[in-house]
Every structure is written in C-alpha cells, then in structure tokens.
Structure 1
C-alpha cells in the first residue's frame, strides 16, 4: 500500500499542493476534475504538462474525483451530468490514472422505483463508456452496508464499477468500517484515509484528524493487506481549521501501518 493525499485537503493551489505532497513524503494524490483541471479546461498540451508536473514531484495520480451536486438518481440535468463524468473519465485515462471517484447515493429500496431505474441506467451508461476507453468508476460508498452494495453491484455484471472505501463514511452513517471491509473483496479500488468519532449523544458522530477517531487503523490496514489492496490510501480532511497540518500529520500516522510502496 502507498500513502497519498487528497490535494484539495491542503487548501493550496494545485501546483503548491503537489509540492506539499512531495515534501510530506506522499507517493500520490487524488485531485478534483474542476477549475484548471476540468476536462474542458485541460487540452492535449495541458494534459501532457500535468503529467510532466506529477513526474517532476515523483507523484502518481491515483484518482480523479468528480464532484457533483446531484446524484446519479436525480433526473434534473442528468444527461449533462453524465457527460461531465464521461469527459472526466477520458481525462483520467489521458492522465494515466484510469480511475474516477464518484459519490454513490443511498441505494434505492425499491428496484422498480423511478429513482432506482435512473441510477441503474446511469451506472450502466458510465460502465459501458469505461469499458470502451479503459477507465474505472470507483463509487464512494458508506450510506449502505457493504454486503448490500456488493449485491447491488453484482447485478451489473461489469468490471468497471468498483468502490472507494472511506471508513469515516461508514462510521458517520452508523456502520462498523472494519466489518464492512471484508465483504468488498475484489471491489476496493481506492481508499480515503479519514477518521471519525462519537462526540456525545446530542452531537452524534463527526470527522476528526486521522488517528484521533474511533477507527482501528492497525486492523484496517492489515485487512487491506489481506485483501491484497495495492492502491493508494489518500489522506483526506473535509472539516476543521487546520486541514493542512492534519493531512501532514495523517501521512506520518499512516506510515506506522502501511507497508512501503
């Protein structure tokens, strides 16, 4: 396993974020496909230059994240949203990571409901495109138990739909992250290293710096090794006033558990 960071968690411009990642000793990064790195903003020359920039810092691009305001199960502006994801998949292929991270909404209870049909059609469209160009969709999960997600994805019979495992997502939605990792054998394509803990009955659960939460990282990384996960653990911090320091400390923290990569 290799340790990396989510570039946006540093709150720095992309070049400075890559430089910071290299100084932290990270092996790779996840970046958002927005602004200067949006598919429509980055032409052929820009894509070559970004790959060169990554090499200059000895970093790999582990995944391209595609932020979306609405899920794949929402009809409003769905086709433009799918087209944006497809363009991001092509960008991911051109940049060499061949992997996009896409948020997965809560799975529908009724497979015949309109929302369920929209989601299925959307995922089939993206999976088909991924098959053609050679790019995976790594759905960021956590709303539903892993076994339910595994059974849902098995119904597609495709190899381009995988998952991004974020243990904090499972904690925040009331699931045991460790118990929900083994059922995802063969599906975990990318990992967000985020932590969370209970902060009392009234306040529920909240994200905290890596190592300060309820997640057993020794057991989690050991399980990832059992699953033969050889991807990147991307340290991420979404909340708090000291995100940069939390990410840097998170990289140091994970070095205790991850095998050299």
Structure 2
C-alpha cells in the first residue's frame, strides 16, 4: 500500500500546494492527493469560499506555462499526484448544467496536463442549485447522464473518474457506487474511492462497506472522528450526531481492523490521509485548535507505515 498526503494539510498555509509536496517528501509519503479550486462552481459566495485554501488547483487559475512548471516541480520531488478532485456537479439542468460540465471538462484537461491519473467527482447532490430538490432517482440518473457526457473526453485524455461515497450524495452507499460505476464504466475508466468515515457519517457500517466493495476499491480515504450526541462540533450530516476530528489512532474507527479487512480482500492500493476536510462544516474557529499540520503529516505517516508493515509481516 502506498501513502498519499491530501492537499488539505496545507489549506491554510501560504505556500499552498508547494508545501504539501514539501511535507510529503520530508516525511516519506509516496504521493499527494490534490484539492480542486471551488471559486468557479455554481452557487453563492459562501459555497464557493467555504473550504477555499491555498493548496487548491484550478484550471482557470493556472496558466499553461505554469502547468509545465508545476509538473516539473512534482517530478523533481520524486512524488506523484494520485488524484485531483473536481467540485463541479454533473447533474444540473439548463445553462447551469452546461456551464458546470464545461468546468468539469477543464478539470480533466488540467489533470492530463499535470499527469494526474484520476479526477474525483464530488457535489452530485439532490439539490438543483436553484432553490429546489430533485428526487434521489432523478439526481442519480442525471448524474449518470453527466458522467457519460464528459466521459468520452476523459477516455481520450487518459484520465479516469473516481467515485466516492460522499455522504448525502448520489453515491453515498457502496451499492450506489457500484451502480454508478456500472452505468458509466463503458465510456471511460471509472474507479471507486471508499471512505469508511464517510460511511460512518451516513450511518452505514464501514466494514460491511468494505465487504460489499471487495475487489472494486481503487483508493481508501483515511481519517478518524469521534461521534457525539450534542451539536457542539458543528458537523451534523444526518442531523443526529456531531463529529469531532481526531488523530487516526484515537477516533471511533479502528484502522488496524479496517486495513486488515481491506487487505484480506486483496486491496493493495493507495491510502489517502485527510488531515481535515474543510467541507465538513465545522466553524472556522474549530479548525484552529487542531494540532499543527506539519506535526500531523509526520506523525500520521509514521502511524500508517507501521500499520502497513504489520500487514506485510502477517
């Protein structure tokens, strides 16, 4: 298993993505996983700036010559970029939908220019961005249509599309992930990024999810949280509990068990460690009390390598 450091580690660092690369190289990570720029997505200013960070990479913010420079910088570190996420939803209708799909295509081109093999899709919710809601079935079918509309270009560019079990989206369950993959996989390369904590947020059993997706997981997302009955931690994805961000070793999920389960099913892919995910809705002041990101990059790299070595020694 290879270790990938998620770009959010430097979301509030003025050196941004360059700092992600530096910490990854300094602390022995194999690769990095990049966040996509949100300032051009549909919605109001609050939505666009909610999780803005200097680590973000966007097709409308990086000129062609700078893309060449960035790719050389990545190569010089000896690292690779596993994935870039794209926050442009694919299931909107009308001119809003056309604009959003065009932005998705531009993200595909950016990924190809930087040699990134995967573009991870997020933001395919039931919200129509015009004050209404779609049914779950309609949102799912529109998302399939959107993926198929951009899939041919993805195939031409050699960039695969990663589906993730983001909570409260069209792919929030393992079954939804597999249905979506089957519906789009004939057009382009489609993989699955499984996040056990997102499953926990959604009220699903993370181990059962691993079992359902056995042999189909391309990337595992690695983070940890502690569940609380009160609302003090601000993030209430299902309206019942709030969640506190923790180190990998201290939260409700046991990563030794989860990685052992995944390994027993043949998973040997990348592990993307998320220090924070600013989209999870905690108030800005909450993120300031977490340990220093440089410490997290060092400590969690040591922790994950220890678990991977344990698995290899079995």
Calculate the TM-score normalised by the size of structure 1. 0.85
Which secondary structure state, in structure 2, belongs to the residue aligned with residue 180 of structure 1? helix
Partner of 1:176 in structure 2?
205
- Whole-angstrom distance in 1 between the partners of 2:272 and 2:68: 23
RMSD: 2.6
Partner of 2:85 in structure 1?
65
Partner of 1:192 in structure 2?
221
Q: Is the 8 A contact 2:144 2:183 kept in 1?
A: no
Q: CA deviation at 1:145?
A: 2.5
Assess, with a 3 A threshold, how the Cα gap between structure 1 residues 3 and 37 changes in structure 2: closer, same or farther.
same
- Whole-angstrom distance in 2 between the partners of 1:92 and 1:157: 19
Which blocks of at least 5 consecutive residues in structure 1 are unaligned? none
Partner of 1:5 in structure 2?
5
Partner of 2:165 in structure 1?
141
Assess, with a 3 A threshold, how the Cα gap between structure 1 residues 87 and 227 changes in structure 2: closer, same or farther.
farther
Partner of 1:167 in structure 2?
196
Calculate the TM-score normalised by the size of structure 2. 0.72
Q: Does 1:156 align with 2:156?
A: no
Q: How many positions carry a matched residue from both structures?
A: 256
Q: CA deviation at 1:120?
A: 1.9
Which blocks of at least 5 consecutive residues in structure 2 are unaligned? 38-53, 127-133, 233-240, 279-286
Q: CA deviation at 1:157?
A: 4.3
Q: CA deviation at 1:138?
A: 0.6
Partner of 1:74 in structure 2?
92
What does the per-residue CA deviation read over 1:4-24, in whole Å, with 9 as the maximum and x for residues that have no partner? 211222332221221122112
- Whole-angstrom distance in 1 between the partners of 2:258 and 2:217: 13
Q: CA deviation at 1:169?
A: 0.7
Assess, with a 3 A threshold, how the Cα gap between structure 1 residues 39 and 218 changes in structure 2: closer, same or farther.
same
Q: Which has the higher contact order (CA 8 A, sep 6+)?
A: 1
What does the per-residue CA deviation read over 1:39-83, in whole Å, with 9 as the maximum and x for residues that have no partner? 233344322221221122221111112234xx3333362212111
Q: CA deviation at 1:30?
A: 1.0
Partner of 2:72 in structure 1?
52
- Whole-angstrom distance in 2 between the partners of 1:16 and 1:106: 32
- Whole-angstrom distance in 2 between the partners of 1:42 and 1:231: 30
Q: Does 1:250 align with 2:300?
A: yes
Q: CA deviation at 1:109?
A: 6.3
Q: CA deviation at 1:249?
A: 2.4
